[in-house]
Amino acid sequence: MSKKISKAKLRRPQYSLFDPIEQQTAPRVLLVGFFYWPFVSATLEGTDPLAVVEDRGIVVHVSPKALMAGIKVGDKIRTSLSVAPSLEVIRADAVDPSGLFARIAIALEQFSPLLEIVDLGTCAINARGPSRYFGGEKELVSKVALAMKEQILKVFPAAREPRNSSADVFGKGSVFSFGVSMADGIFTARIAARDSLLVPPGESGSFLAPFPIRELPDGELADTLDRLGVRTLGEFASLDFYRVMERFGARGALLHRMAGGLDTSALEISEIKEDFSQKIELSESLEVASAVVFACKARVEEILEHLLEKGYFCQIMRVRLMSENGEESVRDWGVKDGFSTQLLLERIRWQLESWSSDPKLAPSAGVEVIELKPQRIVSALRSQLDLDGSERASIAKVSQALSRVDAIVGERASVAKIKGSRTPKESVEMVPWQLHLFDMDESRDKKAKEAPPWPGKLLGSSPAICFDPEVEVSLLTKEGISVIVLADVILRGEPYWMKVQVSGKKARVLEWSSLWPMMERWWDPEHSTKVVRIQIVTDDMGALLVKSRDGKWFIEGLYD
Amino acid sequence: MASYSNICSINYMYMNAAVERSIGNLSGFVAPQLLASERYVELDGSLAKIFPLGRVQLGSVVLFQGASNSGVTSAVFELLSSGGMQKRWSALVGFENLGFLAAFEKGVDLAKVVSVPNPGRDLAQVVAVLMEAFSVVAIANPGFISSSQARNLISRARSSKSIIAVVQQSLNMYTAQSKGLWLSSYDYVISSSISGFSGLSKGGGFIKERRLSLSLGSRRVGGAVKSITVPI
């Protein structure tokens, strides 16, 4: 830890001539944010879900009912399950498989063709032009709110009859409640959307100032700042820009600008000097979405690879679909971590589906041409600013090689991350390499190492092989009677033989350890089971971690 | 003309020794330098004691062999955690059940290890692509590589300066998979076996220590075998 940032050093950011001018003005953004989007489809099925959305163990969305149970965004999934055991957990990548949100967001397209879906439940347009055209910002906001409501009722006719007669379909607490805001930059607009506020131009900085530092989209940095005594966005923004950059690097500098209401990371079109747009002409016009996706897969892959070879990831892609009869559908799609082939194909499919299901705009013939035009590209190495040149070059080579391997193999290569847990298998999380390269801090591994041991964690070193699925074996006494666990603490019978079911091989058990009882999946009362682990050593020098579950024995790991 | 060229050649011969000396001095400054770290991976721990000069040359092909329960995975971890791998990337191809926690405990820098667990039928192609960027490419199930592909891979390893580490188990009794043979010309062959345990007694304790025996055979040291037993 370096020295504390003292309050004496707080002062307004002073920009030098070297700051690019355009970074000091944020684009005017109109943003529509749904508060409970991930739970819409569950609600339509007739249940009022007590549910949360989880991303890597952390709660990222909370349904109204779960909110009442006291669960907050940012909680650990384990702790919230202990608060509400019947909690339904939705994985972040499984939230909107059928592209429902795209069909709602399309309502914004009548105001501006450059629609950006920031994430599921949040969409935005650049508001400068449209607000002039529609007679002012206030008028635009109310028109958008009206159009969104109409669109929701169109897409979900069932929403018209509220189950609870007193509740308003769009009132607070309903899954369809949403906010419309206008502000400078997406970051400010997102916060303003919670109360449907219109933040006048240039006042985003003072609007953001009283909000807590936790609003920053980087929990770790927010924690650090909090510990340093920087409690609000305003305090952070008033720190000297160059000191922040020195201390927290390029990412810190970016967040610093955000906190000051200078989030430029949205809806910028002028950034790209080189034209990366590509046309994909299908050999025949196709109507079925999946057929189109299949037909353009190879070219999409090629286009993204070409970008990557130049050292870029694409964050916003404009997808233009053209039918045989000349109709068009244009939409901007955004992904924070850059598009992979799979993500982009998914977006293309969503766009196709929502286009062809729209009664007014549906094309009269199949799709013939797909044009892809990157709207915002970022250097694939943007998070590597602190590394020396040779290492940067090697990361570029690594990402090139891996994207080619992904294409050959058809699934993503991954990198292991260590997190605290009780079993060797649960302690490892495999992360797709793209995410890893963007977020290459080893601090997490170090933290895991320093963390106190988990209760019930195995003693000694971990097995070098962890079988998945586990390998079934039988443990027998000398007489051939199965060894079983009594009362979680003692074995009935002494293990003498171990027989592997799949290969039929038998080995003599020489030694075995004391017993480690543990609840497996203890947070999930329906699936939790009691398991007992022991280590055994066989006469062919096999050292194994075996466990007993429901009266059967399994090899969990091999100390190879 | 003739006399001129004679003078030249005399001068040349006369200057030869001096010139050579000064060029020798100069080359320290101007010649393209190839640092040792660009040609070798420095090893430490157990492998340093059996590899000649304690290092392994980039571009070589290493075989790790042993039966099931032979500690062959631990031997691979010894390579990946060695000091010379500090800034280098390694790729693991076809390792389906690897215990990354154990690798982490052994000191492997997981941030620089990429896993491709199911390379499928295009194994040779995958390995060839990986060698362009990774210093070590470890392959766990080389069954799908033909001998001509293998020859190509070896020549690629030489030119791209990657180490190919082939991990081969004669028969895995726990998954009933037999691992395919790959080729016969390895630069180094590391055979491993486990020679003992401590810490367990019938129904008590836990595995505190295992003893791993490693022996190295190499064409580069005239086929001599060097062995060592280390606690892990």
| More confident position, A238 or A341 | A238
pLDDT digits (tens, 9 = 90+) for A327-371: 888 887 776 556 778 778 888 888 888 788 777 778 888 888 998
What confidence score (pLDDT) does residue A551 get? Answer: 83
Report for A276-285, A305-314, B128-137: range of highest mean pLDDT: B128-137
Q: Which of B64, B69, B109 is the best residue to mutate to test the A interface, defined by the most A CB atoms within 10 Å of its own CB?
A: B69
Minimal CA–CA distance to A131: which of A143, A145, A113, A119?
Answer: A143
pLDDT digits (tens, 9 = 90+) for B173-193: 666 555 555 556 788 889 888
- Chain B partners within 8 Å of A467 (Cβ): 97, 174-175
- Chain A partners within 8 Å of B176 (Cβ): 500, 502-503
Enumerate residues 6+ apart whose C-beta is below 8 A from A79.
none
- Which CATH number among 3.40.50.300, 3.30.300.30, 3.40.50.1100, 3.20.20.140 corresponds to the domain B36-231? 3.40.50.300
Alpha carbon of residue A547 to chain centroid: 34
- The C-alpha atoms of residue B11 and residue B24 are separated, in whole angstroms, by 19
Smallest CA–CA distance from B104 into chain A, residue = A418
Which letter does DSSP use for residue B174 in this model? T
| More confident position, A170 or A457 | A170
Outline which parts of chain B fall under CATH 3.40.50.300.
Answer: 36-231
What confidence score (pLDDT) does residue B11 get? Answer: 43
Q: For residue A200, give Cα distances in angstroms to A178, A180, A193, A207, A523.
A: 20, 14, 14, 9, 47
Domain ranges of chain A: 22-199, 278-380, 381-457, 465-558
- Chain B partners within 8 Å of A461 (Cβ): 102, 105-106, 207, 232
- The C-alpha atoms of residue A203 and residue A210 are separated, in whole angstroms, by 13
**Do A502 and B175 lie within an 8 Å CB cutoff?**
yes
What confidence score (pLDDT) does residue A451 get? Answer: 47
Pairing verdict, β B136-139 and B90-93: parallel
A394 touches chain B (CB under 8 A): yes
Q: Please name the CATH architecture into which domain A22-199 falls.
A: 2-Layer Sandwich (3.30)
What confidence score (pLDDT) does residue B46 get? Answer: 86
pLDDT digits (tens, 9 = 90+) for A96-131: 655 677 778 878 877 876 677 777 788 888 887 788
What confidence score (pLDDT) does residue A119 get? Answer: 73
pLDDT digits (tens, 9 = 90+) for A501-558: 888 888 899 988 888 887 766 666 676 777 888 899 988 888 899 988 888 899 988 8
Average pLDDT score over chain B: 78
| Residue B114 pLDDT greater than 90, yes or no | yes
What confidence score (pLDDT) does residue B222 get? Answer: 64
Q: What is the homologous superfamily of the domain A278-380 according to CATH?
A: DNA polymerase, Y-family, little finger domain (3.30.1490.100)
User: At B16, which amino acid appears?
Assistant: N
Q: What percent of chain A has pLDDT over 70?
A: 74
- The C-alpha atoms of residue A428 and residue A420 are separated, in whole angstroms, by 9
Q: What percent of chain A has pLDDT over 90?
A: 4
- Chain B partners within 8 Å of A508 (Cβ): none
Pairing verdict, β A51-55 and A88-91: parallel
| Residue B97 pLDDT greater than 60, yes or no | yes
- For residue A11, name the pLDDT band (cuts at 50, 70, 90): very low
Report for A20-29, A110-119, B106-115: range of highest mean pLDDT: B106-115
| Residue A459 pLDDT greater than 50, yes or no | yes
Report the residue from B87, B202, B208 with minimal CB separation from A512: B202
Size of interface A-B (CB pairs under 8 A): 184
**In chain B, which among 5-34 make CB contacts under 8 A with chain A?**
none
pLDDT digits (tens, 9 = 90+) for A184-211: 888 888 889 888 888 888 888 889 999 9
CA angle B210, B212, B215 (to 5 degrees): 175
Tokens of A156: 């979900």
The ipTM (two decimal places) reads 0.78
